[in-house]
Structures are given as C-alpha cells and as structure tokens.
Structure 1
Amino acid sequence: MEKTNKLKLVISVVVFFFASLAYGQLTNDFGVWIAGTFNKDVSKDIDFSIEQEFRLEENATQVGKSYTTFSLDYELRQWLRFGLNYRFILNKTGDGVFGHRHRVMGDLVLRGYQQRFTFTNRSRIQSEVRTINYSAEYGFSPAWDLRNTSKVNYKINRKFEPYVSLDIRFLIRDAREPAYQGFDRHRIKLGVDVLLARNRVLDLYLMTSRHWNVLELTQLFVVGMDFNFGSQGLLLGF
C-alpha cells in the first residue's frame, strides 16, 4: 500500500509538470540557467553563501538576467532555520540595457525526515526596488511578495538525490500594479542533486515557470544547473 501511494504521488507530480507546460503555449520561452554557489560554515549553527547565476532567455540566445546573492542562515533546531538574503539583479529591459534591482529576502525553513525522504518547506517574504535604467515615475517604491517553496528529496544512495519542488508567489504590493494583489506565479521543478566529491554537489534540473493574472500569460521552460561547493550539508538546499 505504501509503495502504491508513493507511485501515485510521483505520477501526479509528473502529470502536473507536463500539464503546466502544455497550458502555457500562448506565450512561451526556453531558457538555460547556470549558477555557482560557495558555502561556508561560519559556526556550528550559522552558514554563509554567495551565489552567482546567469539566466539565458529568448530561446537561450542571450543573457537576460544576472543574479548575485549573499545569504546568511541560522539553524535554531535541526528542523528549523532562519535566513536573510540580499540579491543584486541585472535585468535586461525592452531598451536592451540592464536595469538594476535590489532585493532583500527573509526566510523561514522547516525540514523533516522519513527514511530516505527529506521534506522541506521555505516561506519567504521579499522586497525589491528598481534603480538605474528604470523609470523614476514611482521613485524607489518597493514591490513586496510572499513566496512558498515545498520540496521533497529522495535519497537513492550517497551520490544521488532526485527531488521535486513547487514554488508559489503571492504579490502583496507593487506600485506598478496598484489594482492587483494575489497569486501571480508558480514554478515546478524536477531535478537531481549529484555528489561529485566531498562538499561538491551538482544540481541538474528541468523547470516550468508560469505567470498568472497578468495581461500577458507567459510560460518559461528551463534547463538548469547549479554547482555548489565549500561546506557540508549541500544536498539540502533549494
């Protein structure tokens, strides 16, 4: 019975993944996301990391975004972590120049274990301002969002951990969209974490990202990789 339930769960996730892709055919794009992350244990309970990511858009023909993220995590309990992050974003605008964005994020992460499974849920509140190469009409008025990411890992052996995750974003406030608040995007990811060597992990994944409740419904299909190195416990990240 337990194996049957697990099989049903896997089938449901796969169907949802491809259904999400199928329904996004109105306006879609293909992208490649490439990232590298350095992790450092500051103390037994505090971790620091730096991540650099480049996102190729327009059918992976040009760099559309660059993300540089600094993160500090504190583990209060084995099942409870808090995180504070700053992200500098270069975002290619319609004029062909890169606009500057600054994002601050606060995380609450819950994690549980059951045999070979790891269940993780991250709740995040984030605020972002746009500065250079953006219109000054709204000044530095920040946009506020809530995000929730649920992830399930399955440990096949010491080297391989496939996973599935669902990320949902809820817009709280944006001066550029004053008439709207609510759910506006989801992302579904299927991937595998591969332990290459001690403290060297390669994350390979497929992802769909779809915007909702906006004038132009968009669907993005992504092939991505993230190389992590520097400290222990890397297979449990997002």
Structure 2
Amino acid sequence: MTLHPPHAAPASTWSPGRLAEAAAEIVAAASLPAIVQAGHPVLRTRALPFDGQFDAALLAALVDIMRRTMHAAPGVGLAAPQIGLPLRLAVVEDSWAVDHEVAQARSRAPLPFFAVLNPVCVPSGDERDAFYEGCLSVRGYTAVVRRPRRVEARWTAPDGAARAAEFSGWQARIMQHETDHLNGTLYLDRAELRSLSSNGEYSARWAHPTPERAARELGF
C-alpha cells in the first residue's frame, strides 16, 4: 500500500467581509448547518487563515455550532469548509466506545474536545499505518488510507494561545484528516481506491481491526 500525495488546491478568494458575514449567518440560523458533500468547490480550495476577520464572541459561537454539528452527524472531527466556510478552523473529539481489540490494533484512545485555528501537522518518524477511514463529506463510503503514525501539531486556540502537541495512532489520523480538509484535500485523494467500499459492504465484509483481509481480497 502506498502513500498518495494530493494535488495542490487553489486558495480561497473570499474577502474578510464575506467570511465574517457567512460565519454570522451560520450562527444565526435556526438549525444546524448542512455538511457539504464531495463535489462542492469549498472542499477543493485552501481555506483562509484566521487572522481576526471577526470577533471572539462570533468565533466562540461558531466553534459551538461546529461541535454540535459534529456530534449530530456523528463524527470525530469537522472542519469549517465542511459547513461551507473556507476558514482554517476545525473541531475534534473522539469519545466513541470501541471494541478493545479494535482500539489496540488502531491505537485508538479517547480524544477530548478542542478547536484548532491555523493548524499545521508535520509527520514525526517514518512509521505509517493503513486503516479504513470515512468522511462526513463523502457519505456512504469508506476506504483505506495510509498515514504517518505520529505527527507534531501546532495551532492557535480560540482564546489566541499558541498550542503544540504530538499525536499518535488514531488521534494523529484525526488531526491529519481535518488538516487535509483545510488544504482542499479529501481522504479519497490519499486512499487505496481498490479498497473503496460502501458502508454496507464494509460492515458486512471488512469491519476487522486491520484491513489485511480486504487488501488480499480486493487487491491493494
């Protein structure tokens, strides 16, 4: 299985005013925002860095909306482009209860909620892991993605504080997946496409701790 580099995406051309107006509309809406799906241009542009385009109160409200949208989906991460906003903002949280064998094989541990602005993830070491991965913006499908096992991440918290941490295992996968969204990259750009399965076929055939059987039978 190979590590696929994505194509470079064009930068968003949204103005600061348009970004602030769209964020305010999302927060003021009577319902949670829809999660945009593959094919929407916002998922294929590099999101804009947050540099104070709107105030702390609107940012806090937007983070809360994104957290509730992620929970409702449900998912373990959500990037602002997934709700139509080309901003370098994402929320992550993994509190799912998974089988012990699965957790061990995938190095999956709970990840408390937090939000990241302008994140950067840099691989740490040469180890790579390949597992089935899905996306709230590619409904109904899953595919194997090979990613670095560990990353060094840097970001800004919503309160303006600079943060840095090392993530490994499934937590590193979540961080890379969400950072990819901010760069106009979908997980399918990195996936072993012969592994692509509907959620139904995955549940029926390939829902094992690791994808070795799928690799043999699907030929990747």
Q: TM-score, normalised by structure 2?
A: 0.26
**Which of the two has greater helix per residue?**
2
Larger Rg: 1
| Greater RCO structure (CA 8 Å; 6+ sep) | 2
